[in-house]
Amino acid sequence: MPHTKRRRLVTALVAVSLGATALAACGSSDDSKADSGPVSLTYWAWAPGMDKVVDLWNKGEGKKDQITVTVKKQASGDTLVTKILTAHKAKNGPDLVQAEYQALPTLVSNDAVADISKNVGDAKSKFADGVWQQVTLGTDAVYAVPQDIGPMMFYYRADLFKKYGLTVPTTWDEFASTARALKKKAPDVDLTTFSANDSGLFAGLAQQAGAKWWTTSGDKWKVAINDAATQKVAKFWGGLVKEGAVDNQPMYTPAWNKALNTGKQIAWVSAVWAPGTLTTAAPDTKGKWAMAPLPQWSASEDVTGSWGGSSTAVTTDSKHQEAAAKFAAWLNTDGDALNALAKESGIYPASSSAQLSGAFSNPPEYFSNQADFYTEAAKIAKTTAPSAWGPNVNVAYTSFNDAFGAAAKNKSDFVTALNTMQDATVADMKKQGFEVSQ
């Protein structure tokens, strides 16, 4: 069938939860056939030290089952997605791939990853519902096994909050009041910054507010990047930037690092991986920070968004999908594998049971003053909101960087920037041949 029509058909079938049938309809390989004899699998991944983790499999479960896995180190992000799609088009993709959650709809709509729901056993029970949903896309199919996650949290300089007489905000209204109160007491100090160079942060905040950027209805995608929930987030941050209550400079720059390190910026809305960044960005403030749950939109809520995270998917090009799925499940649920992933790759595991064991029994060295760091992180991770990713997240993110970058710099209307992001995403989907409704 024509390429664009085929893409629409797969998307529609995924939407009505036909799972494996959807992929089979467009020529995916049979993943129900049992593998016999020695099997060699190739795994494309970018996480550091993954080869050392895989060695555990090859010397243990893999040796027993005659399944050998070889890691081929790759670039991450859009570069890897493009490489996978190119390899799939030539029918020579790897057996497994490390896939970011937001990339899965693109890979599924291009028939590049397989439904492995029949081959991952009780893996679902190892993960929080909001995390597992990211690999099912809300269907009965399972397109990957969650590997690492980035539940969002609030980080703050405990010593400076005490110095300025500030209370840790539990709601976004309190957050705004805290930012304004700090400005009155110390005009040269910012609570935080709104950064337009990391779209994942904004996406996670929208997710926490209940946004559903991409959904499906019948044979059409619905794109709602400028939905009410996201407009609320945009107005909130746009208002703080416009009045000067928070800074408008991007993160990860020398200036941002200096602000964190010298106490000119005393808080950061981030994710569980923040200690690693702070270790480099603000080395002189080690032991002075604390972590708390993300502020809520209402005091009765308890939900967080995600910023980052990836999964292990089995490709439709693999001739050994059952064996590949078995390895994917082991890699992300076995205790020894998860401890090795934490040690060698520095991940925060998606598996709920692993979040309080092994490498996570003690707090990060940078947060040695907060003994319950990982205990609190595990509680927060359980409140992760479901996501709603689509087939062109890369375009939406690029548009965010451009439109919100200009709005933050000029202190202009953030909702206008959001509408620009919506229009660019819809236009690209239509250009690709997707049926779209708004």
Region 412-419 average pLDDT: 97
CA angle 43, 47, 51 (to 5 degrees): 55
Contacts of 301 (CB under 8 A, 6+ apart): none
CA 27 to chain centre: 29
How high is the mean pLDDT of the chain? 90
pLDDT tens digits, residue range 356-385?
888 898 999 999 999 999 999 999 999 999
How confident is the model at residue 7, as a pLDDT?
A: 47
What local confidence, expressed as pLDDT, does residue 29 receive?
Answer: 40
Confidence (pTM) = 0.89
Q: How confident is the model at residue 77 (pLDDT cuts 50, 70, 90)?
A: confident
In the predicted model, what is the mean pLDDT of residues 297-312? 96
pLDDT value of residue 19? 33
Q: Residue 241 has what pLDDT?
A: 97
Among the listed residues 5, 98, 84, 92, the one whose alpha carbon sits nearest the alpha carbon of residue 43: 98
pLDDT at 236: 98
| Residue 1: pLDDT over 70 | no
pLDDT for residue 359: 84
pLDDT reading at 313 higher than 50: yes
Check residue 63 and give its pLDDT. 93
Query: What residues pair up with 200 in beta bridges, in sequence order?
Result: none
Mean pLDDT is lowest, of 3-12, 75-84, 285-294, 311-320, for 3-12
**Mean pLDDT across the stretch 164-181?**
98
Mean pLDDT of 301-314: 96
Three-state SS for 363? coil
Rounded-to-integer distance, Cα 27 and Cα 14, Å: 15
Convert the pLDDT of each residue in 252-285 to its tens digit.
999 999 999 999 999 999 999 999 999 999 999 9
Q: What percent of the chain has pLDDT over 70?
A: 91
State residue 33's pLDDT score. 44
pLDDT, tens digit, 9 for 90 and up, residues 184-242 = 999 999 999 999 988 999 999 999 999 999 998 888 899 999 999 999 999 999 999 99
Q: What is the pLDDT of residues 98-131, one digit of tens each?
A: 999 999 999 999 999 999 999 998 999 999 998 9
pLDDT of residue 36: 61
Three-state helix/strand/coil letters over 118-161: HHCCCHHHHCCHHHHHHHHCCCCCCCCEEEEEEEEEEEEEHHHH
The alpha carbons of the chain give a radius of gyration, in whole angstroms, of 22
pLDDT in tens, 37-63: 699 999 999 999 999 999 999 999 999
Q: Is the pLDDT of residue 96 over 50?
A: yes
Instruction: Tell me the percentage of the chain whose pLDDT exceeds 90.
Output: 84
d(CA 190, CA 327): 47
Give the pLDDT band (50/70/90) at residue 35.
low
At 437, is the pLDDT very low, low, confident or very high (cuts 50, 70, 90)?
A: confident
- Cα distances (angstroms) measured from residue 234 to each of 203, 386, 406, 414: 11, 20, 14, 6
Per DSSP, 302 falls in state -
3-state secondary structure of 310: strand
pLDDT at residue 217, rounded to an integer: 84
For the chain, give the number of residues.
438
